[in-house]
Amino acid sequence: MNHQKCRIALFRGKGIMSTMIRWQSRSRYSHAAVVTPKGTIIEAWQGKNGGVREKNLSDWTGIDVFDVPDLTHGQSNRVWQWLTGKVAQRCRYDYWGVARFLSRRSAPSNDKWFCSELVFEAFRQARCPLLVNIPAWKVYPGILSYSPRAELLCSDQNPINQYHEPSN
């Protein structure tokens, strides 16, 4: 696999659940995903077709994309291998993990994921933690934008297809 950039998409959702997440976390972001080199996203999503999945997006409104430029070739490959493994395993969405943001209780280890937990853990598994001294289950979408490794690449004013690289 060629070196393929790992990019983080942070969403400014407007629905009821998104509004509650933004309010509780005091953040402008309500959802997180990783942008693949082919322009799709890998995310943890709730609902009927929920869990860890890869999805095409046609509307990038309300999304900011962050680059993680200091990843090595090997780290990038580990991020992709870990994420595609979670998609292949059809890991479920962690509803209780989201509820813990309200209760502030610690999380048991499981193979269920909510969005920002999945993104954070993918980079941690690649030995490129986005933040230090915080477990994945405490990471909400907005805190990812404070990572010293993440650099804002584009906001929804610029189409994402200008920024992803074609796979070889």
Q: What is the mean pLDDT of each run of 10 residues along the chain (168 residues)?
A: 76 84 85 91 88 90 92 93 95 80 64 93 96 91 95 72 45
CATH match of 7-156 with 3.90.1720.10: yes
Write down the pLDDT at residue 103: 60
Residue extents of the structural domains in the chain: 7-156
CA 151 to chain CA centroid, Å, is 14
The angle that helices 16-25 and 95-103 make with each other, rounded to 10 degrees, is 40
Write down the pLDDT at residue 69: 93
Q: What is the SS3 assignment for 162?
A: helix
